[in-house]
Amino acid sequence: MSRTWLIAAILPALTACAIPEEDFPEEYGKQNCKRLQECNEDLFEEFDDMEDCTDAYADLMEPLLDLADLAGETYDPDGARDCITNLKRADCGDWEDGDFTCDLTL
């Protein structure tokens, strides 16, 4: 296996894409629901399915982004990507406490 091919194969995984503001609520909802299913299955089962859960958390995030816009904050797509990455990496204790970095503004 050539070294060039190997680098080309793993580079996309290492440099995940920034998340546009319009996509963030759904991405956050999706990842948050995966953690909810893993860390608090009883609460997760209150939703009909993963899509219902994702929609609910996305609906909670949208007004927060709108408020930040109204306050003059500038959305940071790279910060959003880092937020999702940190959410994925947080253990259940950190997730339940909200103890992970999620800075969406510049």
Per-residue pLDDT averaged across 20-40, rounded? 97
Question: Greater confidence, 40 or 16?
Answer: 40
Does the model's pTM come out above 0.85? Answer: no
CA distance 85 to 8: 21
pLDDT at 91: 95
DSSP string for 31-87: HHHHHHHHH-HHHHTTSSSHHHHHHHHHHHHHHHHHHHHHTT--B-HHHHHHHHHHH
End-to-end CA distance of the chain: 41
